[in-house]
Amino acid sequence: MMIKIPICPECKKELPLNSTRCHHCSKSVSAVKFRSVFSWNWADRAFLLFSVLIFVSFFMPWFPGKFLSRENPLSPLNLLLHLVDLDVEFLVSYDVLRMVLIVPLFSFLLFLMVYLGDGLKTTPFPGIFLIVCILVSVFTFIFQTLGGVFQWGAAFLFSGGFLYYLQQCYKKGTLGRISSYLLFIFILASIFLYLFDLSIKFYARLDLIILGETWGFFMAWTVSCLLVLLAVLYHMRSIEDFWMVIFALGFSVIAYSTLVHPFFVSGPLKFFADNLHETFVQLAAHIRIVGIALIIAIATGVPVGIYITRHPGAAGIVLYISSILITIPSIAMFGFMMPILSTIDNAWDGVSGIGIGVVPAVVALSLYSLLPIVRNTYIALKSVDPATIEAGKGMGMTNFQLLIQLQLPLSAPIIMAGVRTAVVMGIAIAAIAAYIGAGGLGLFVSEGLQMSTNNSVIAGAIAMSLLAIVADIFLAKAEDWITPTGLKIKQATE
């Protein structure tokens, strides 16, 4: 690779990028000179090798002999003929329109990132990660026709990588940030393009032509690749730029073929799209069960935690009982709830039907949530510095004042951590509640299992995982918010 390395005009030594002062001779650098270096390391070689592999594998369906065939609707010859004829229906149906949109947009983005975005220069690029990406993309491609596990594994792997990449861009100053936003919007736009517009006609033919769906994208990718490689070779200022661009390219392909394709064409996201209303109804039901159980658990758990702090004799018993409660398998717990609550129901009025559905689910969940909340409250209150409490007592504070002004504020973050555990656990356990008619996202799983619809099962699982993740993030924020400012400050060093 030809790389231009900035050098100090005075001492002719290499400079870090964008530096205004030479760190060798300490002179301010006004006119940076560049030295062109031909660098060819193992990563470059590996990259080229894999690029060739990917290219070959992408275009495999056209070999051998079908390259110029008119029977293959996607052969370049056929495409060219259709273009010349302005066969709009064909172009739309095979997503050529999107290709035409993608090429300039994508090129423009990469152009921005490579040599206008002067912040994007100094990342130590994780070369190994790139290699892994390319490797997996090859395997993904090979196994794409087999579907299943490989695709999903790759999809999750790359969604992580994608976020990492966006974050890297985001850290690189304004232009990097803009390009990361644009790239993100681009991916989203491509998702929605599929969901609502171009897909309708297109998918009708998908069963016949397996590769047709992704073809437009690969074409766009190839052209972008060439454009960007040109730009890179002439304007790149460091090897990191090069890797960054390659990563962007490779990643966009991978993200597309692993995320967008399996999710929307046939996967669980299509399930969501088809069952949008039902999804929201069950999501609301799920949140309601967990939410009510949580409120009950906090309202009982925190006072119990406070009580056992002051009565050490009770502490052992209470913690022991709640430990036992949490070991009961959830399906058994729901089983216990039904006869118990039915008995109560019969003794009460016999018609409210609390033995089945939401009520036993809420009761069981609040019992499960009790342990993390009681234990954390107990531990938190115990860990407040006894000297501080004694100082408060000595100053004439009542127990209640001490609790409100000192112990609870100091314990709040730890109690909140207990609530977090309880919520995440509750969201998972509530899935089982679908079996006793409480509804919730678990319904997708249980119904999917009964009817052997994989997408329903996976969609339910994904929705619950996302709910748990979002709830956890939200509660982590709440934990931070509830932590007294005085505790967040670092100790003064003397």
- Which residue lies nearer to other proteins by CB, 351 or 492? 492
Q: How far is the CB of 485 from other proteins (least distance, A)?
A: 7
Task: Please tell me the total number of residues recorded for the chain in this structure.
Answer: 494
- The footprint of other proteins (CB under 8 A) covers 385, 387-398, 401, 405-406, 409-410, 484-487, 489-492, 494
Q: How far is the CB of 483 from other proteins (least distance, A)?
A: 9
Q: How far is the CB of 425 from other proteins (least distance, A)?
A: 29
Residues 6+ apart with CB under 8 A from 307: 314
Q: How far is the CB of 386 from other proteins (least distance, A)?
A: 9
- Which residue lies nearer to other proteins by CB, 33 or 393? 393
- Which residue lies nearer to other proteins by CB, 236 or 380? 380
- Which residue lies nearer to other proteins by CB, 69 or 388? 388
Q: How far is the CB of 380 from other proteins (least distance, A)?
A: 13
CA distances from residue 113 to 17, 109, 311 in whole angstroms, order as listed: 15, 6, 64
Q: How far is the CB of 1 from other proteins (least distance, A)?
A: 52
Q: How far is the CB of 405 from other proteins (least distance, A)?
A: 7
Q: How far is the CB of 428 from other proteins (least distance, A)?
A: 33
- Which residue lies nearer to other proteins by CB, 28 or 491? 491
- Which residue lies nearer to other proteins by CB, 321 or 406? 406
- Which residue lies nearer to other proteins by CB, 160 or 394? 394
Q: How far is the CB of 332 from other proteins (least distance, A)?
A: 42
- Which residue lies nearer to other proteins by CB, 277 or 488? 488
- Which residue lies nearer to other proteins by CB, 357 or 409? 409
Neighbour tally for 345: CB within 10 Å: 17
